[in-house]
Amino acid sequence: MSADQSKASSSASSSPQEPPQPPAVAHYPPAAYGGHYPPPGPYPPPFYAYPVPDPSHHDPNNPNGAPSQSVAPFFMAVPPPPPGMVYAYPVPPTAPGYPFAPGMPAPQPPPKPKRKQVKMACTNCASACKRCDEARPCERCIKYGLAETCVDGVRKERKKGIKRGPYKRKNRATSGEGSAEGGEATNEQPAAVPPPPAGYPMPPEGYSFPYVYPPPMGYVPAAPDGQPHPEGANGAPPAMHHPFYPSYPAMYPTPYGYPGGPMPYPPLIPTPIAASPNGTAKPDSASAPPTANGASVSADAGKGKKRSRAKNGEESGRASKKTKEAAQVDVQQQPPNGDSGVAGVDQLEKDQHPPPQPQQPPPPSYAGHVDPSTGSGPVAAFGGPEPRPLMAAM
């Protein structure tokens, strides 16, 4: 189940902080992020783990208007690394994505890339359950003119004192390693992947793909003809705009949290390029591309979720999702109006918190995921600048 996965991931990310890695990570194509990435500010560029921005819509950034990569490039041969890149690992013949011979069994689809979340979504995004980013104001808030209310929420403190049963020790290679049975983790041991060269981070656990690391600082790739690089003065390689690479796979969103995340198929990490060739700002819908919206062709369509929707106000999932929380009466910030309505909270919210900037585009009328049960009401999506427990709003 997902439990396994989540377990795996959690254990893999046991270190709270991402190791300080060279920031030379290719940024997620601006397609979904309105082009201006990385965001200004002290934040490190976030990493994105999405394999394909949006399989269903054509990538506006694609110089050629080439069809966007909607299909996973499983079958593509590994392209030569573009200038400024280095394949850190050879491609193991068994690695998914490696060209396979006609007789060979079809390659397994690459493991689903991990979703990368921002550490803290802004209240607006959180309430709308939309993707946020590290910048403040975030992309989405900017789009909706909510920049002013784009603030981090306040992470609710974790409950303490909760007793737990004894832990099940995951037999770690104690005494050799003959503890295979049951040890689900055992077979996840990264194969014998050669360690990356000094100066490079280890590939994320479980990924033996050919990693492509950006050249180390100061590394100046030799010119094709073997001559010293023309502009390589002071060891600083010239800004490498790599030529136009066919959207595939060079445009492939590489990041994957490079320092820690898995690498999707053609794991190329382009050298940090100036933002985006033509950072076309794309509406938030990072997740739900406007075009595809409903019919969004998802990378993992198989995931399909069904849902019988309850009108808001009714007891709907949101509420149920919060039941735990509701159970302990999260009255941290009950709105003054003690009996926060249950039905029509949205409307209410909208009425009481008109968008601060009427001149803005489509005022997001979302009132946030209301929690009728707690009555904490919809998050003042664009009303209250003061931070609040996020979940209280969802």
Partner DNA sequence: TCGGTCGGACTTTAAACGAT
Partner DNA sequence: TCGTTTAAAGTCCGACCGAG
Q: Which is nearer to DNA, 148 or 315 (CB)?
A: 315
Please compute, for residue 171, the number of CA atoms within 13 A of its CA located in the half-sphere on the CB side: 14
Q: Which of 224, 200, 210 is nearest to 268 (CA)?
A: 210
Output the smallest distance, CB 140 to Zn ion, in A. 5
Residue 311 binding partner per list DNA, Zn ion, none, with a CB distance cut-off of 5 to 8 Å that depends on partner kind:
DNA
Residue 150 binding partner per list DNA, Zn ion, none, with a CB distance cut-off of 5 to 8 Å that depends on partner kind:
Zn ion
Residue located via tokens 């009728």: 372
> If you ran DSSP here, which 8-state letter would residue 41 be given?
S
Output the smallest distance, CB 230 to DNA, in A. 40
Give residues in contact with Zn ion (CB under 5 A).
Answer: 122, 124-125, 132, 138, 140-141, 150
Output the smallest distance, CB 115 to DNA, in A. 4
Q: Tokens representing 62? A: 């694609």
Sequence-distant (≥ 6) Cβ neighbours of residue 179 within 8 angstroms:
171, 173, 186
Q: Which is nearer to DNA, 271 or 312 (CB)?
A: 312
Residue 147 binding partner per list DNA, Zn ion, none, with a CB distance cut-off of 5 to 8 Å that depends on partner kind:
none
How far are the Cα atoms of 1, 3, 13, 179, 205 from residue 170, in angstroms, in the given order? Answer: 17, 14, 16, 10, 17
Residue 141 binding partner per list DNA, Zn ion, none, with a CB distance cut-off of 5 to 8 Å that depends on partner kind:
Zn ion
Output the smallest distance, CB 282 to Zn ion, in A. 15
Output the smallest distance, CB 242 to DNA, in A. 26
Element spanning 213, H or E: strand 212-213
Alpha helices by DSSP H, 101-205: 123-128, 139-144
> If you ran DSSP here, which 8-state letter would residue 69 be given?
-
Residue located via tokens 């030379």: 24
Q: Which is nearer to DNA, 104 or 310 (CB)?
A: 310
Q: Which is nearer to DNA, 91 or 154 (CB)?
A: 154
Q: Tokens representing 231? A: 């502009």
Q: Which is nearer to Zn ion, 59 or 139 (CB)?
A: 139
How far are the Cα atoms of 30, 134, 251, 262 from residue 48, in angstroms, in the given order? Answer: 11, 12, 14, 10
Output the smallest distance, CB 149 to Zn ion, in A. 7
Q: Which is nearer to DNA, 179 or 193 (CB)?
A: 179
Residue 10 binding partner per list Zn ion, DNA, none, with a CB distance cut-off of 5 to 8 Å that depends on partner kind:
DNA
